[in-house]
């Protein structure tokens, strides 16, 4: 990513109202009406802020009937973090944060175990978008027949996994093969159109009673492909699930899938994960 790529992002983040919009979307997707109600300025002014955020790739718009739903797309923020912060991180900073979290969660003499809550019934909704420097045919192949080349630890059901398989056909399985007839099912393919989209239905690694829908859409643009991910789920889902799956999809798509498609680098099953 060069400085020209970063300019729209820095511009979008420079305004406190736009940062507040991102804070609101971090909690959950919101309609344009809901966002407008959170500000004293006009709806037109909020729309201008949203257009700037969308241009920077920080907000993804999805329409449902007459409503316009706005979703946080954290991928550009992740790329800024990887360029500007990750190379200079120090171990002591992480240690201090962990100490702070430990002290805050054990105040009053109660233990962390006592404060752990059982996951309530909830929902998960993630929308992400990225650009890959490759044609849709190459990206679709990576999402289906080559999935084990970039999908691997720690995003596995079991460390016994010997193969990761996605069968690109309606009713096909996305599963881990542990050998000797054993394995774990991630999801089932419900629909697909070669080189355009694939949709799966299943828990996608979540424990308990969870049902989810995952959809990848591919759109050709010049010599690149726009990859849009939508992951919706309902069931025994906690706030930690939302945070961990948002970060997990960023890592899997922005780092691992991109590295495999664009440079032929394998971060999948049987290979070392990308450096932290």
Q: Could you please report the per-residue DSSP string of 6-56?
A: HHHHHHHHTSHHHHHHHHHHHHS-EEHHHHHHTSSS-HHHHHHHHHHHHHT
Q: Taking residues 120-147, what's their average pLDDT?
A: 92
pLDDT attached to residue 26 = 87
Give the residue with greater pLDDT, 114 vs 29.
29
List the domains of the chain with CATH numbers.
1-116 (1.10.10.10), 119-263 (3.30.530.20)
Q: Taking residues 229-248, what's their average pLDDT?
A: 88
pLDDT attached to residue 249 = 95
Which one-letter DSSP state was computed for residue 169?
Answer: S
User: What confidence category does residue 94 fall into, taking pLDDT thresholds of 50, 70 and 90?
Assistant: low
Question: Is residue 46 pLDDT above 80, yes or no?
Answer: yes
Percent of the chain scoring above 70 in pLDDT:
83
pLDDT attached to residue 111 = 43
pLDDT attached to residue 65 = 85
Give residues with Cβ within 8 angstroms of 129, minimum separation 6.
57, 60, 73, 75, 226, 227, 228, 229
pLDDT attached to residue 3 = 54
Which is it for the CA torsion 52, 56, 58, 64, positive or negative? Answer: positive
Question: Is residue 105 pLDDT above 90, yes or no?
Answer: no
Question: Is residue 119 pLDDT above 50, yes or no?
Answer: no
Q: What's this model's pTM, rounded to 2 decimal places?
A: 0.64
Question: Is residue 89 pLDDT above 60, yes or no?
Answer: no
> To the nearest whole number, what is the mean pLDDT of the chain?
85
Which is it for the CA torsion 241, 57, 141, 261, positive or negative? Answer: negative
Give the residue with greater pLDDT, 105 vs 147.
147
- Do residues 149 and 260 touch, judged by C-beta distance below 8 A? yes
pLDDT attached to residue 236 = 84
pLDDT attached to residue 84 = 58
Question: Is residue 219 pLDDT above 50, yes or no?
Answer: yes
What is the C-alpha separation between 133 and 51, in angstroms, rounded? 25
User: What confidence category does residue 174 fall into, taking pLDDT thresholds of 50, 70 and 90?
Assistant: very high
What is the C-alpha separation between 187 and 273, in angstroms, rounded? 23
């Amino acid at each position: 990513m060069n400085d020209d790529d970063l300019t729209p992002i820095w511009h979008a983040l420079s305004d406190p109202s736009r940062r507040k919009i991102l804070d609101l979307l971090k909690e959950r997707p919101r309609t344009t009406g809901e966002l407008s109600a959170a500000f004293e300025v006009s709806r037109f002014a909020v729309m201008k802020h949203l257009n700037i955020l969308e241009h920077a790739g920080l907000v993804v718009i999805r329409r449902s009937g007459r409503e316009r739903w706005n979703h946080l797309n954290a991928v550009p923020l992740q790329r800024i973090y990887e360029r500007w912060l990750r190379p200079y991180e120090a171990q002591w900073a992480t240690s201090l944060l962990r100490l702070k979290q430990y002290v805050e969660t054990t105040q009053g003499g109660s233990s962390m175990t006592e404060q752990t809550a059982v996951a309530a019934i909830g929902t998960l909704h993630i929308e992400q978008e990225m650009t890959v420097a490759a044609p849709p045919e190459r990206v679709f192949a990576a999402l289906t027949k080559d999935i084990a080349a970039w999908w691997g630890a720690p995003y596995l059901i079991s460390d016994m996994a010997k193969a990761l398989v996605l069968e690109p056909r309606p009713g096909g399985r996305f599963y881990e093969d542990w050998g000797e007839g054993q394995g774990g099912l991630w999801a089932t393919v419900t629909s697909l159109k070669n080189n355009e989209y694939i949709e799966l239905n299943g828990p996608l690694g979540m424990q308990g009673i969870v049902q989810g829908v995952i959809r990848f859409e591919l759109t050709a643009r010049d010599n690149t492909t726009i990859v849009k991910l939508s992951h919706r789920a309902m069931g025994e889902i906690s706030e930690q699930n939302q945070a961990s799956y948002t970060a997990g999809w960023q890592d899997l798509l922005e780092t691992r899938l991109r590295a495999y498609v664009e440079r032929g680098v394998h971060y999948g099953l049987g290979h070392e994960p990308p450096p932290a």
